[in-house]
Amino acid sequence: MEKVEVRNASRGTIVLPRGLLALSWKDRLVGLMGRRALGPGEGLVILPCESIHTMWMRFPIDAIFVDPRNVVVKTCPSVVPFRFRFGGWAAHAVIEGTPGMIDRSGTRVGDQIEVREREE
């Protein structure tokens, strides 16, 4: 998976400093399942994705759904394990990260998001 950084261009904040981009069917299916936890700033960008589940996960996540132009269409803070969330008909991708990611970045519906390759 490609390493990415996610920024909120509308607010000038970092949403996800150390993300992975899940593009393949397998990477999108597995997502964060099987992990014990996410470290600070870690997460996943799943593309394409209209809905998520947290089945068999061991920790809660924040989720931000964006449309094809990377405009936020829905935020879901602290989604606990064994839940489903639908991003809405406009959702095209989701950013998953640690609880508090939405609040720390100040991300709101209507914000413009940028996903770019991260250099290590």
What confidence tens digit (pLDDT) does each residue in 69-102 have? 999 999 999 999 999 999 999 999 999 999 999 9
Averaged pLDDT, 20-47: 90
Q: Which of 24-33, 47-56, 69-78 has the lowest mean pLDDT?
A: 24-33
Tell me the three-class secondary structure of the chain, residue by residue.
CEEEEEEECCCCEEEEEEEEEECCHHHHHHCCCCCCCCCCCEEEEECCCCEEECCCCCCCEEEEEECCCCEEEEEEEEECCCCEEECCCCCCEEEEECCCHHHHHCCCCCCEEEEEECCC
Number of structural domains (the chain) is 1
Q: Which CATH number does the domain housing residue 33 bear? A: 2.60.120.1140
Contacts of 72 (CB under 8 A, 6+ apart): 64, 65, 66, 107, 108, 109, 110, 111, 112, 113
Q: Which domain holds residue 28?
A: 2-117
